[in-house]
Amino acid sequence: MATNTTTTQAQTKAPFPPFQGETFPSQIFWLVLCFVALYVLLSRVALPRLGGVIAGRNAKIESDLETANRAKNESEAAQASYEKALADARAKAQALASESQAKAAAEAEAQRKQLEAGLKTKLDAAEAQIASTKSAAMSNVRGIAVDTAGLIVERLTGKAPAKQSVERAVDAALH
Amino acid sequence: MAADPIAQFQIKKIMTLGHIGPYEIALTNSAVFMIAAVVFIVGGIMLAGRNIIPGRAQSLAEITYEFVAGTVRSTAGNEGMKFFPLVFSLFTFILVLNMFGMIPGFFTVMSHIAITGALAALVILTVIIYGIYKNGFKFFKLFWPSGVPMFVMPLIVVIEILSFLSRPLSLSVRLFANMLAGHITLKVFASFIGLLATSLGVAGWLVGILPFSMLIALTALEFLVAFLQAYVFTILTCLYLNDAIHPGH
């Protein structure tokens, strides 16, 4: 019982652990040892390694971005030159088309004129023939009319009229 | 049944290694966790891949690297990057030890003022030594802000010196007190459940749901605090280093 009381008294009298001065040397000894070891290992080995990895990644990302940028510029230039070539070709084709159109139109015009001239000569010839045919027919008609009129007058009067007066009368009727 | 909420902070000696002067040096549970943290951090980075497309472990290592580098660069500028290994060591050391502390049964190294005090002293000594080495006497412009009327200058200088002296104190006490208080709270709420169960039986188990759900929420909060305190320590370190690099406001 007595020992029990003394131990509890000793326990209550024991200082608060963080203020037990006799533990300080050990704590500080280990803290110095551990912290110096930590500092040396981190600053000499671990942090350069970690920083190197991060710097390496950043450099890689930067160079990749640069490459991508260059490729983008190249493709843009290629597209621009393609578009230019396309526009050139289109303009050339248009020029060619209008030129050939004009040429075809001129050719067609010439052909048409030639054709018209041919037709006109043919038409003139035909008209001349028609006129000659018509005058021939008319002279035939006059002969027939003179004969017929002479005969009619002879039958009516019993006396053949003078050929000249019949001809005059027919001409007057025809014209 | 009510477990002592302080017992978890007890430093347990595993074996005595020797003495430096009158001081006993021993391998303790605290030391084991510190060694484990160093192995975890260095091993984690060394075993992470070196791929262009990172895996999980590599992503974690790289995110931590970029996070700390961003913090240093944004608070102390590009000149501050020479302290990057120191800041990275501090951040990962504190963060990993705090996260180890969240595992039930594990020891929370940062709940000891000796450790946080030593780390704060390291930071402040770095600031003072580098500040004087880099700027010489100009470093003391830190206490002599420009553009202040002469008659208030004595007061300002006293305030500036006091605020500078309070830095190591606040740096160490903030981390230590947060970790200590958080783990005590967790332990107290956890022991409520046991107390209720043993004293009230079945009803106690039912009522115990209340502290249990509280415990879950507190555990989540403690994870946040474990990260946040490591971050706060880191960003304050960067701010103080910025003072050493560019003294005079």
Q: Cα–Cα distance between B243 and A29 in angstroms, integer? A: 29
For B115-137, how does the pLDDT look when each residue is reduced to its tens digit (9 = 90+)? 999 999 999 999 999 999 988 88
Model-level pTM? Answer: 0.74
Share of chain A above pLDDT 90, in %: 62
Q: What is the pLDDT of residues B31-87, one digit of tens each?
A: 999 999 999 999 999 998 888 888 888 999 999 999 999 999 999 989 999 999 999
Count how many domains chain A has: 1
Residue with tokens 């002479």: A150
Q: What integer pLDDT is reported at residue B122 of this predicted model?
A: 96
Q: Is residue A1 part of a domain?
A: no
Q: Which residues on B lie below 8 Å from A46 (Cβ)?
A: 41-42, 45-46
pLDDT at residue B186, as a whole number: 93
**Phi then psi for B130, rounded to 5 degrees?**
-65, -40
CA distance B208 to chain A (A): 29
How far are the Cα atoms of A169, B86, B194, B200, B205 from residue B3, in angstroms, in the given order? Answer: 170, 39, 9, 18, 18
Of residues B6, B46, B62, nearest to A17 (C-beta): B6
Of residues B88 and B144, more confidently modeled: B88
ipTM of the complex: 0.91
Say which of B31, B51, B89 has its CB closest to residue A39.
B89
Q: Taking the CA of residue B175 as centre, how many other CA atoms within 13 Å lie in the half-sphere pointing to its CB?
A: 34
**Residue A174 in this model has a pLDDT that exceeds 80:** no
Interchain proximity B45–A50, CB inside 8 Å: yes
* Structural domain includes residue A167: yes
A104 pLDDT more than 70: yes
Q: Look at A24 and B93 and tell me if their CB atoms are within 8 Å.
A: no
Of chain A residues 49-68, which have a CB less than 8 A from chain B?
49-51, 53-54, 56-57, 60
Buried b (16+ CB within 10 A) or exposed e, B150-188: eeeeeeeeeebeeebeebbeebbebbbebbbebbebbbe
Give pLDDT, residue B132: 92
Would A118 be classed as within a structural domain?
A: yes
- Select the residue of A25, A41, A51 nearest B65 (Cβ to Cβ): A51
Residue A137: give the domain boundaries: 49-174
Q: Which residues of B touch A47 (CB under 8 A)?
A: 45, 65, 84-85, 88
Q: Is the pLDDT of residue A2 over 70?
A: no
Concatenating the DSSP letter of every residue in chain B gives: ----TTGGG---EEEEEEEETTEEEEEEHHHHHHHHHHHHHHHHHHHS---SS--HHHHHHHHHHHHHHHHHHHHHTGGGGGGHHHHHHHHHHHHHHHHHHTSTT---GGG-HHHHHHHHHHHHHHHHHHHHHHHGGGGGGGGS-TT--GGGHHHHHHHHHHHHHHHHHHHHHHHHHHHHHHHHHHHHHHHHHHHHHHHHTHHHHHHTHHHHHHHHHHHHHHHHHHHHHHHHHHHHHHHHHHHHHS---
pLDDT at A167: 83
Whether the predicted pLDDT of A13 surpasses 80: no
Counted across chains A and B, CB pairs separated by less than 8 A come out at 125
pLDDT for the residue numbered B248? 65
Chain A residues touching residue B45 (CB < 8 angstroms):
42, 46-47, 49-50
For residue A5, the model assigns a pLDDT of 42
Q: Do the domain assignments include residue A30?
A: no
Q: Is residue A122 part of a domain?
A: yes
What's the rounded Cα separation, in Å, for the pair A26 and B104?
Answer: 24
| A47–B contact, CB cutoff 8 A | yes
